[in-house]
Amino acid sequence: MTIISDLHASLRSEVSKVLVGQDEALRLVLLALVCEGHVLLEGVPGIAKTTLVRTLGAALGLTFKRVQFTPDLMPADILGTQIFSFQESRFHVVEGPIFTNLLLADEINRAPAKTQSALLEAMQERQVSLEGERRILPQPFLVLATQNPVEYEGTYPLPEAQLDRFLFKIVLGYPTADEEIRVLEQHRGDTAGFMALLASVERVADAESLRQAKEEAMRVDVRPEIVRYLVEMVRRTRSEVRIQLGGSPRASLLLQVAARAQAALEGRDYVIPDDIKQLFVPVLRHRVLLTASAEVEGAGPDEILRGVADAVPVPR
């Protein structure tokens, strides 16, 4: 067992007290925390996106804040601002909700580009410029942004530069019939009942545990033939006729980082081709831009990316 695999097992045990199903989403969010990456969550309302983040924060002992993105949301509403104190006759800097460990940016595509771009410096540099002063964000810092895949009225497409800052795009589906029955049995449906379940979650790790898990992942070996295999997969997205914009070198780098964490999660100190193939779609699905003809045909990025991955010879 490794630090990451032990952490994953403990988290699954505690998160299951509140959240039913979504094991794959939990695994990917944990990998993102270890890799210091951000996550884009896509799913219809009511499938426990917020519950996942809140429960994870409770189990890890991390601070959690939620921002509902709206068309009138301003950058200062996220970053903070200066407020004048009449008692002291001077300005005080009031930090915004971005000063947290886990930031849930709910329906991020409902805010205009100016507000969305306010997150870019924080996501990339782990710092913000507030009233001309550079302020370091708490560590770890993870943005989990949600999108509604059905309702597009009043939304703004995320810029490609911002999409590229997310390590994973996780698509959350409906629970199975058995899982939905367990939800009804486990939850009363009121706020008090939910808060009682959340209070039952015990802290199984902290920021130091995540730091150790990251160091463990960075020690995982990636052989040269695995690197070539990874690069070939990403490069083929640039020549695929149904893809207008393929994966960038940042995509290759982040895929390698995530594969290291995945290998450690599986108890290995080396990356295998299955690690690359398993993470290829979550890392690339939001970075590729399909051609108009592909969209007319109804082809989705997941289907095309799986075809690209299957076409690359696996190293022996």
Report whether pLDDT(187) > 60: yes
Mean pLDDT for the stretch of residues 302-310: 93
Report whether pLDDT(208) > 80: yes
φ/ψ of residue 197, rounded to 5: -65, -40
Instruction: Pull the structure tokens for residue 286.
Output: 């939001």
Transcribe 246-298 into DSSP letters.
Answer: ---HHHHHHHHHHHHHHHHHTT-SB--HHHHHHHHHHHHTTT-EE-HHHHHHT
pLDDT band at 225 (very low <50, low <70, confident <90, very high): very high
219-311: which CATH architecture? Orthogonal Bundle (1.10)
Instruction: Pull the structure tokens for residue 235.
Output: 């490069």
Report whether pLDDT(256) > 90: yes
* HEC assignment per residue over 24-77: HHHHHHHHHHHHCCEEEEECCCCCCHHHHHHHHHHHHCCCEEEEECCCCCCHHH
Report whether pLDDT(310) > 60: yes
pTM (predicted TM-score): 0.89
User: Which tops the pLDDT comparison, 117 or 3?
Assistant: 3
pLDDT band at 231 (very low <50, low <70, confident <90, very high): very high
3-210: which CATH architecture? 3-Layer(aba) Sandwich (3.40)
Mean pLDDT for the stretch of residues 46-69: 86
Report whether pLDDT(153) > 60: no
- The HSE-up count of residue 128 (CA atoms within 13 Å, CB side) is 24
pLDDT band at 152 (very low <50, low <70, confident <90, very high): low
Answer yes or no: are the C-beta atoms of 205 and 101 closer than 8 Å: no
- So where are the chain's domains? 3-210, 219-311
Query: What is the three-class DSSP state of 169?
Result: strand
Question: In sequence order, what are the residues at sequence separation of 6 or more whose Cβ sits closer than 8 angstroms to the Cβ of residue 270?
Answer: 220, 221, 222, 223, 263
In the prediction, which pLDDT does 273 show?
96
Q: How many CB atoms within 10 Å of residue 125? A: 12
Q: Which residue has the tokens 């109804």?
A: 298
In the prediction, which pLDDT does 151 show?
56
In the prediction, which pLDDT does 47 show?
80
Side chain identity at residue 61, one-letter code: G
Asked whether the domain spanning 219-311 has the same topology as the one spanning 3-210, the reply is no
Query: What is the three-class DSSP state of 20?
Result: coil
Q: How many CB atoms within 10 Å of residue 301? A: 20
> Cα separations (Å) of 113 from 66, 71, 108, 168?
19, 10, 10, 21
